[in-house]
Structure formats: C-alpha cells, structure tokens
Structure 1
Amino acid sequence: MKIPKVTGKLREVTAEYARDPSMIVDRSYRAISQSDGTYNDLSSSTKSDVMESIRFSATLWFNSMLTGQSPTDEDMEIFRNLGRRRVHQGVDLASLLRAYRVGSKELWNAYLELASKQQDVQSELLFTVSPYLLDHFDEMAQSIAIAYMEEQHGQSRWKDALRYELCNLIFSPAGEIDEFNRVSEAIGIDPTIARVALAFDTNAIDTMPSRIEAELDRVQLVVTRMAKISGSDLVRVMYRGRLIFWVPCIRGDSLLASDRRMGELATRLVETVPEFKRVGVGMMGLGPSGWSGSVDEAVKALEVGERDGSGNRLYRYSDIALNEGARRSDNVLRYLESLIERLSHEPDLLRTLECYLDQFQKRKQTADILGIHPNTLNYRLERIQEITGGSIQDPAWLAKLHVAIRLRKGSL
C-alpha cells in the first residue's frame, strides 16, 4: 500500500493535530456517543479508555501522513489490544466497528473543514490522501475486528470450561463449597444468591448436530429475556435427558414467593418456546448441594407429573413435597400406609374418602359424584372414622389421610 506523505499547509495542520489531538478526540467521542447509546452507559474508567483509544488511533493516522510509513508491528499490537479490551468491557462488535467508523469520519471532517478554506489543501486531500484513506481505515477496522473475535472466542471457551467445572462441582457428592464459590465468581455468578432449577422436556431440535449448541444458546437467550436477567446469570446443563436452567432468585425472597414467581416464569416459557414440552420446577437452593437438590426436585416433579396423565405442562415440586418427604422416611411411610390399610379391604370406603377429599369436604357434591344418597355418604364417613380412629373434622387428620391416599395412588 502506497502511503502519501503530506506537504505544505496540510502537513503543518497534521503535525499540530499529532502534537495535540484533543480537539479530534473530543468531537469524535461526542459523535460516537450520539450514534450509539452503548457508549453513554459505560463506566467512567471504560469511557476514559475509549477516549485514549480514539487518541491512539488518530495518532497512528497522523504519523502515517507525516512519515509516509505504516504503523509499526508494536503499534498494531497496541491497536489490536483496544479491540480485545472491548470484549471484557461489554461492548459488542457492532458497536466497536460503528465507533471506529464514526470516529474516522469525524477525523476526515476536520480535514475537510480545513480544505474548505485552503485551495491547495483541497487538491492534496482529494488526489493524494483520499485514495489511501479508505485502504487505511478498512485495514485497521479488519485488524481490530479479528482481534475482538479471537478474544471473544477465547473468553467463550474459557467460560465454557469453567461452567463445565461448575456443573461437576454441583453434582459431586463432595459438594466443595470453596471451589464452587471460586468458579462461580470467576464466571461472574454471585454464589450467595439462591437459585431454582427448571427442568424441561424438549422437542427434538431440528438442526445439524454441529448447530445444536447454537440453538441452545438461542433458547437460553429467550429464557434470559423472559426472566429479565443477564445471560451471564443463567447456567444450563443437560441432565438425565432434560435441559436444566438454574434461574437466580431475588435476594431476600421467601421460598413461597420464589416458588410462585418461578412457576409463572415456567408457564410463560412452555407457552412461548416451541422446543419446550413440559417443565418441572424445583425449590430454592443455595450452594452446590442446594443447586443439585433443586435439579433433583425439578426432575422428580416432571416424572410424577408424567405418570399422573393429566396432560399438564407445568409440574412443581412444591405440589408433591409432602408426599416425597414422607417417602424418604420409612417410619413415616409405614405409618401413613397403616392409616388406610384396613380401608383398602373395603373399596367403597376408600373411593368415598378419596372423592370427599378431592371435593374439599363438600358432602353434597361428593354424594352427587359418587351417585349415592347423602345418608349413605354420612354412614361411610362414620365407618372411615371408626376404622382409622380419627375425626374427619380434624384438619391435621385429614391432611394425613390425603397424603396417604396420594402415596397409595402413586405406587399403583
């Protein structure tokens, strides 16, 4: 590439700009901020870095015009580092390239303003400088874009490796809390915030195997938008054939409030995302054991829900928590089984109790559904009390019977 070496008045002005590019830097940053709101929301330290980057980029151009030589390898490496830093500062590639284009245009406008007053400057700008201008800025833009994408790819691979390590820690029996905290913070996740696992049964993703991760990234983007969280706050994994997302809770939320909010989010997701067939919602968990426990709960809710044949698409562990809690204690389980063991020998009584509980203890409605006389219902309820030794007027006793019946139905 032939580089022109400016002369006369144009050289004087270029040398002045090279000594103090402040005017060029200020007008370029104003134009960049007006063209892309991203640059208005940056931290003060990042804004200062952007200003220095504009200064350095403009200085490279001025020096080329004064010396007739390309930027050195050292200069180009510094320039490429500008692009690499934008990855970590949260500036996307489109915004980076737009900023470079707008800044270059402002630099050229400054020269054109000079040319409007100087005839000899006009000719040199038009016939000598402008042919090189396009080549210079095109090559520099390509260089910074390549550096950005390489850094972004490297960061993505690094974060993927850390996320893989994090999932291993979550499902490890050891539950190493210190390592879990270290890896979480390295990824940018706050380990002190509890999370809820959402487990999705998914339709087959109709794409090439090499594109599946990209499709999952697309689905994850939908989840982050609907949950109103940043992409870095959401963690996903494939577990036992289900797609798992750990969604952060609101700090200070109660378990009840969190369960309700996650249920609403899960409902919207299965109604919106075609790839989602059914979803199981775990309960709030903190730390590696909490995250793992929430996944087990979400998957269990799905499994129980699939067996009940209701055709629902949302299954919450909180709906089966009492049943599952009873299953985990042999003594409790045997006790609940004993409550209805004798009733099982009289099917009419068992069916009556189940219907009575399902109808929220409304006797007329229960009798109508069973097709029996109210007096017959009263007799059966009295028999149930005699056999079980409890009172159907006692809410605690009814709760025990309800859990016992649901456990029995689940085991059939």
Structure 2
Amino acid sequence: MDHEEHAELGSGDRPPRLSRAATALAARCEPQVNDLARRMARGVFEQLRGYAELPGDVKDVEIAATARHGMRLFLRGAPDGSRWDSLEYFQERAAQRAEEGMPLHLLLRGYTLGARELWRALREAAGPGEQEALAELTEALFTAVDRVVGAVAESYLDEQIALVAERHEQRRSRARALLDGRPVIGGPTPDGPVLVLCLRFGTSAVTGGRSPVTVRRLSRRVQAALDRAFGTEVLAVLDSDGGHVVVPGIVEPPSRLRELLRETAGSELRLAADAATAIGDIPRAAQLTAEVVRIAAACGVLPGVHRLEDVLLEYHLSRPSEGSARIVAMLDPLAGRPELVETLRTHLEQRQDRRATAHLLSLHPNSVDNRLARIQDLTGLDLADPRDVALALAALLLRDADTRVRE
C-alpha cells in the first residue's frame, strides 16, 4: 500500500478508508455471503447456549438474514466505510429480539461469532502478498463490529426498559381496577379467592429521601420481593408510604413474606392481610387491611404483621356512630395547637411512655409532662384514667377517619 493510500485511512469509530487491494479482497468474498450466512445460522451459532431453543424461523430466517445483511454491508462498504453511518436495520432487529425475549448475551455473541466467521472467510480468500490488505480489513471489521454491537446493545436495552415499564403499568392498572371494584382491562379477571395485603413503610425504607428516583427504586425492590415470596408476578400499587397488593388464588400469605419484605423495606414495615372471597369483595378487604395497619400504628403496636383481632377494640372505637361527633369534639380545645395533638398521639402510640414520647418528639421528658398537663387542662381528660385514655384514643381515631373521608 503506497503513501497516498495510507493517508486515506480513517480514525475514530468509522471503519477506515481501504486500499484498492483490500477493496478487491472484500469484493472476492462477497459471492460467499449467502452460503456463509446459512452456515453460521445452522452451525456456527449452535455453540451458543440457548440458541437451540429459539424458534426455527428465528434461527433459519431472521438471524441468517441479519448475518447476510451485515456481511454484505461490510464487504460492499469496505472502500470508504460510508455504509456504517446508518444502523437502523440492526437496531430494529435488536428491539424485535428484546420483545421476543432473546437474552442479550445470546444476541451479542451472535454478532461477534459472525464477525469471526467473516474474518476467517477473508483470511482463506487472501492470496500471497495480500497480508496487508487482510490486516486493513481486520481493522475495519473490528471497528464495524464495535459500532454495531454498541448500537444493538443500546437499542435492545431501550426496548427492554420500555417493555418492563409497560408491563409494570399494566399490572398497576389491573391492581387499581380490582381495588376500586372496576372491570379489569388488559389481563385475566381473578376467579376465586384473592389475598389482599396492605403495606406501610417506615421512615427507614426511603433512606435517600422521597425523590421520584428513590421511590421508584424502593417500589421495584418491594415488587421483586413480593414476586419472589409468592412465586409469581403479583399485582401491586405502591408509593413511598406503602400501598396495596393483590394476589389471586391465595388466601394466606407465606410465612417468609415479612422477612423478605423487611430485607427490602426495613424493620418498620407494617403489614395486614385479608382474603377476599371473590373479585367483588376486594375493595372491602383493601379498606379493612388499610384500617388495621393505620389503627395498629396509632395504638403503638410494634411494626410487624397485624390482624384485626390484634386491634379489635381500637377498630370498634374508630367506627362512626351517633356519639362519634361528641367524642371528636372533646379535642376541639386543642384546635390551633398541633404540637399538643401530636404529643397526645405519640404518647398514646408509645403506650404512655413519657421517655419514648420525648425521644420521638426530640423533647425533654419534662417538656412532655408540661404538654400533657396542658392537654388535660384544656380537654378535661385525665390521661391517668383508663376510661379517659380510651376516649382520647377514640377521638384521635375518629378524627383521622373523618379527615381521610373529607380529603
């Protein structure tokens, strides 16, 4: 190759401009493309783990067609590399393989093995004195493969992300419909019993703040833990605080569920479960589990798996009745004093432990005592009297229930 031809070599990620000798060698190999593509699709790729399980039309037609297109594109574009400015064909095939579920490693190894076979064909076609021409084509082939593999991997992953997001949103939509009692669109309707879970995360679950990225990461981890625990893709609607889960065909949560979720959502996780007898019973089960979790937290029950039986009295106290308005009115004197309401709530949640209340509110225990004394003065409730404590708890529970209804 003379000095002028050397100067025409490219740089960067574009295949270099080739000499006349290299161009001639590539042209001599082009008639072999069809046979080479068929041989690769039926023989060479068989060494790939998982290739044999692919459908016959994918192996014998589509993969062979892609190999044929890539080899011909390289050999015909060898003189100046201009044909590698557009890689849409490979990107479209990569997106199609992602949709079909072909593993990415299998797809990429197909390209690298194809490049190796093309190089072997070039080597066999090279005659005496064509070593430099073969070296030029080898460098050009490395550059072309690098560009193709990069574009294929990017397109595959983009399509996979889009497919995952689409499946996730379909699952969320189905879960929302079931929880709201609406017809399910885009999936099978459960037939038979359905397990409904309510999850409530603690502050430790979202360690990186409540940014959208952090919340999505937490939701994905919890969803993966749920799928693993039940051995199937469950339907869930989750946010930074928790949410509901719907599992068709199940009536009891597996024993390892809480431990799996604790590894993901932290030790402050609260969980309640109830079996819906049929699809129309799902909204009731969802409301009940949410109430059980809320009441357990309000009453100071330690985080864990909660049952209605654990908070039966408190659940009864939180149900509206003719006397509800009068009970809620007992806290009216605390209007405009949110710090007193929060102190009362925290004190009851902590089973009237002043030191635990002070720790959670970042106060001195004496400050807690002063606030409790002020609450008693304003409301007339004696927080040392079990009956008045029950009234205060009922007032808070009914007040929270009324607030949620109005929201």
Same fold by TM (over 0.5)?
A: yes
Question: What is the alpha-carbon distance in structure 2 between the residues aligned to residue 289 and residue 211 of structure 1?
Answer: 34
After superposition, residues 98-177 of structure 1 pair within 5 angstroms as 98-109=109-120, 114=124, 119-120=127-128, 123=131, 126-159=134-167, 161-163=169-171, 165-166=173-174, 168-172=176-180, 175-177=181-183
| Alpha-carbon distance in structure 2 between the residues aligned to 1:134 and 1:199 | 52
Rounded to whole Å, the distance in 2 between the matches of 1:192 and 1:316 is: 25
Residues in 1 aligned to 2:267 and 2:285: alpha-carbon distance in whole angstroms: 19
The question of 1:67 aligning with 2:76 is answered: yes
Q: 1:148 to 1:265 in 2, by over 3 A?
A: same
TM-score, with structure 1 as normaliser = 0.59
1:88 to partner: Cα distance: 1.9
Task: Decide whether the 8 Å contact of 2:179 with 2:286 is kept in 1.
Answer: no
Report whether the alignment pairs 1:299 with 2:290.
yes
Structure 1 residue 137: Cα displacement: 0.9
* Matches of 1:17 and 1:234, distance apart in 2: 49
2:358 is aligned to none
In the alignment, structure 1 residue 196 sits paired with structure 2 residue 183: no
**Residues of 2 paired with 1:199 and 1:21: CA distance?**
54
**Aligned with 1:284: secondary structure?**
strand
Query: Structure 2 CA distance, aligned partners of 1:121 and 1:265?
Result: 70
Tell me how far 1:76 sits from its aligned partner.
4.0
Kindly indicate whether the alpha-carbon contact (under 8 Å) linking 1:277 and 1:313 is maintained by their aligned counterparts in 2.
yes
Letter in 2 for 1:24: M
CA distance in 1, matches of 2:130, 2:208: 56
Which residue in the other structure is 2:223 paired with?
220
Displacement of 1:59 after TM fit?
1.0
In the alignment, is residue 206 of structure 1 matched against residue 245 of structure 2? no
Please state how far the C-alpha of 1:287 moved relative to its aligned partner.
7.1
Counterpart residue number, 2:9: none
Q: Which has the higher helix share?
A: 1
Q: 1:297 to 1:99 in 2, by over 3 A?
A: farther
Q: How far is 1:145 from its partner?
A: 2.4
Match of 2:271 in 1: 280
Residues 88-117 of structure 1: per-residue CA shift (max 9 Å, x gap) = 2234545533443344335445655x37xx
Once the 2 structures are TM-superposed, how far is the Cα of residue 84 of structure 1 from its aligned partner?
1.0
Distance 1:131 1:286, change over 3 A: farther
Correspondence 1:28 to 2:37: no
Matched residue of 2:268: which SS? Answer: strand
CA offset digits 1:195-250 (Å, max 9, x no partner): 432413333412251421123323332332333334xx442323xx741252534x
Structure 2 vs 1, CA of residues 28 and 197 (structure 1 numbering), >3 Å: closer, same or farther? farther
CA distance in 2, matches of 1:77, 1:62: 15
Alpha-carbon RMSD across the aligned residues, in angstroms, is 4.3
Aligned partner of 1:85 in structure 2 is 96
Does the 8 Å CA contact 1:269/1:276 hold for their aligned counterparts? Answer: no
Offset at 1:190?
6.1
SS in 2 for 1:264: coil
- Deviation, structure 1 residue 123: 1.8
Tell me the CA shift for residue 153 of structure 1.
Answer: 4.0
CA distance in 2, matches of 1:93, 1:289: 42
Deviations 1:58-77 (Å, cap 9, x if unpaired)? 21233135423669699943
Task: Give the structure 2 partner of residue 401 of structure 1.
Answer: none
Q: Is the 8 A contact 2:48 2:106 kept in 1?
A: no
Instruction: Supply the distance in 1 between the matched residues of 2:45 and 2:281 (Cα, whole angstroms).
Output: 47
- Do the aligned partners of 1:197 and 1:247 also contact (CA within 8 Å) in 2? yes
Q: 1:16 aligns with which of 32, 40, 43?
A: 32
Deviations 1:365-410 (A, max 9, x none): xxxxxxxxxxxxxxxxxxxxxxxxxxxxxxxxxxxxxxxxxx99x9
Q: Tell me the SS of whatever aligns to 1:203.
A: coil
User: 2: CA distance between counterparts of 1:325 and 1:51?
Assistant: 68
Where does structure 1 lack aligned partners over 5 or more consecutive residues?
331-406
Whole-angstrom distance in 2 between the partners of 1:93 and 1:133: 21
User: What does residue 400 of structure 2 align with?
Assistant: none
Aligned partner of residue 207 in structure 1, secondary structure: coil
Seen in structure 2, the aligned counterparts of structure 1 residues 54 and 124 have a Cα distance that, compared at 3 Å, is: farther
| Residues 1:50 and 1:310: Cα distance change in structure 2 (over 3 Å) | same
1:236 is paired with a residue whose SS is strand
SS in 1 for 2:199: strand
Paired with 1:14 and 1:101, the residues of 2 have a C-alpha distance of 19
Conservation of the 8 A alpha-carbon contact between 2:198 and 2:244: yes
Counterpart residue identity of residue 236, structure 1: V
Compared with structure 1, are the counterparts of its residues 68 and 228 closer, same or farther at alpha carbon in structure 2 (3 Å cutoff)?
same
CA contact (8 A) 2:236 2:246 kept: yes
CA apart distance, 1:86: 2.4
